[in-house]
Amino acid sequence: MNTKQIDLLERSAKLFMKFGIRSVTMDDIANHLGISKKTLYNHFQDKSQLVREIIRLRIAQDQAVCKSFALKSVNAIDELLHISKFVIESLSSINTTVFHDLKKSHPDAWKMLEEHRFGFVYNQFVKNLQRGIKEGLYREKIHKEIYAKLHIVNIDAIINGSIFPWPEFKFETVFLETFRIHIRAITNDAGLNYFKTHLLNINE
């Protein structure tokens, strides 16, 4: 993928995130990008391909960010705090209809997201649990597979509009509250003290 296509994807993604996917047409995208629809179709066969490529790019970017957090964080809790701040910032700018639109109208793109969450995200969280136990911040007797899957389920609950309807429940608020519950379930006393001391980092 060339630099021009990446730029088109990133700018198109902002439009979808703001207005939703179904409500935005290829004409809207071309007008927003300041190009002809013919030029847009020269890069992407149709809207479905455009959406898939946006999801593919976003997944690659998210994975790169999470890997960098794992490398630069001083410990497992610090890693989770970095990731949580990143997730909150990402969710706060997303129109609530995006996930529903993906699941209903773009099943291929939705499947990519599901594979990302139950593959990469799941494995990263298992690694984080192993790291936290080794560092003496998490409880030693943790069923890592259960807690990793609970983490994925939490994400499902957050983006499920029927459970936490927006705007009564904002994505970032629900995520932070479930994160508080989750961290208390996996940390020992030393880890919980570290978490309480550094929690403000999420809101900076």
Residue 16 identity (one-letter amino acid): F
CA angle 151, 156, 160 (to 5 degrees): 150
Question: Rounded CA gap, 152 and 125, in Å?
Answer: 9
pLDDT tens digits for 109-153?
999 999 999 999 999 999 999 999 999 999 999 999 999 998 888
Token code pair at residue 174: 């629900």
Q: Which uninterrupted H or E stretch holds 17?
A: helix 3-19
pLDDT tens digits for 6-57?
999 999 999 999 899 999 999 999 999 999 999 999 999 999 999 999 999 9
For the chain, domain boundaries? 55-203
How many helices (H) and strands (E) are present in the chain, helices listed first? 11, 0
Q: Where do we find the tokens 């980092």? A: 201
Whether the CB-CB separation of 114 and 107 falls below 8 Å is answered with no
Query: Has domain 55-203 been given CATH number 1.10.357.10?
Result: yes
pLDDT tens digits for 57-89?
999 999 999 999 999 999 999 999 999 888 888
**Whole-model pTM?**
0.87
